[in-house]
Structure 1
């Protein structure tokens, strides 16, 4: 019989033990109140996704570590899930730099997020700070020319039909190349966590990005 999945409390205790931290030190390092951590470790309370994301960022660990044990055996399950993606039915999220069209949003807890992105920002100053998020991503240029800026590599220019695969935790930004007013790419993001889509949508300041009414409705549907 397969062993049951470890609880969040067990995972946090093992993480704390691995670092040799007291509960107080864990609280100070993670920004989670000591009393809350104590309840979580004793499985009397859980943490919201926002708090889990905070823990992963403050402690510098992949958020996937808070969902499953490294190396834990898992029995493959055939879910037979399927979803057809249409841009005109996509969840549309607007930000100063991009227009995102999240596809196949009716499927919850996806490990891959397909998204069509229209890129408008043309300079690093216009874009702002490089973004980071858990997981990896693949981007394929559909229209126009883009410049890919990354934290540890020189900028690279990609034209239609070219692609790039990167570690998403590395700072990165996609810009429209000089002479290109707007580029369009297909991106597929993946992560061990199950709330990658919400994580991606929270990267940009919600006061800057504007969601259209249909998108807001779709977001509520996804979160139900």
Structure 2
């Protein structure tokens, strides 16, 4: 059968496979990577066998201690740099996605084994309901397409009035325009498919990952902010 000659792997890339690839590329044992990353050997083993994932904070700490950018954790080495990109494909699902957790969002990066992508597909679960939770409008290079899978969202943009989108509705915007996605009133969590495009994948990934950090910092500030004082209204 012609299909049997397709040598493109259909195995989805996971955080475990990506970390194992980093370790293999550097020639480190689990013990050596544990010493460099500060993560116990038993934990690293569970991650490599896809029995455990890492939060955004742990991913950030890991990349810093290994001396690499976070975007390098989301792509395997480019073994065919000299060859033109033709006929490639990637099969992916939510179970095999690389997950990044923030207080208000869960991001599931799909098809992470492909390099030199012009698009970055991400399934996002949105819980933030207000501009205060979200923080400042975000901007990054390229353009993006958004399709609502479930729930409903409010899209706030720099130059347009807010718009509410429900399942089956879509949006296409210039990503350099300030924008924010919030769960609509009455919706506990919305799920959307986003596809971001840019001329340079690594630069786009760096922008997206820096946004995750900003969102984490905003959520931390909101969580630690003192509750407003309440006046009893008794006597003057």
The interval holding the TM-score normalised by the smaller chain is 0.5 to 0.7
Quote the Cα distance in structure 2 between the aligned partners of 1:103 and 1:78. Answer: 19
TM-score (norm 2): 0.54
Match of 1:184 in 2: 191
Match of 2:171 in 1: 164
The number of aligned residues is: 135
Change in CA separation of 1:120 and 1:85 when aligned onto 2, cut-off 3 Å: same
1:132 to 139, 144, 153: 139
Change in CA separation of 1:204 and 1:78 when aligned onto 2, cut-off 3 Å: closer
Per-residue deviation at 1:208? 2.5
Per-residue deviation at 1:110? 1.0
Unmatched tracts of structure 1, length 5 or more: 1-48, 51-76, 210-224
Q: Determine if contact 2:100/2:107 at 8 Å carries over to the other structure.
A: yes
1:11-160 equivalences under 5 Å are 77-160=84-167
> Match of 2:187, SS?
coil
Q: Determine if contact 2:119/2:201 at 8 Å carries over to the other structure.
A: no
TM-score (norm 1): 0.57
Per-residue deviation at 1:78? 4.8
Deviations 1:75-106 (A, max 9, x none): xx552211011100101001122100000000
Unmatched tracts of structure 2, length 5 or more: 1-67, 70-83, 218-236
Change in CA separation of 1:107 and 1:182 when aligned onto 2, cut-off 3 Å: same
Change in CA separation of 1:207 and 1:172 when aligned onto 2, cut-off 3 Å: closer
Structure 1 segments (4+ residues) deviating >4 Å: none
In our comparison, the structure showing a higher alpha carbon Rg is 2
> Match of 1:205, SS?
helix
Change in CA separation of 1:129 and 1:168 when aligned onto 2, cut-off 3 Å: same
Quote the Cα distance in structure 2 between the aligned partners of 1:197 and 1:171. Answer: 17
Quote the Cα distance in structure 1 between the aligned partners of 2:151 and 2:112. Answer: 26
Quote the Cα distance in structure 2 between the aligned partners of 1:140 and 1:203. Answer: 20
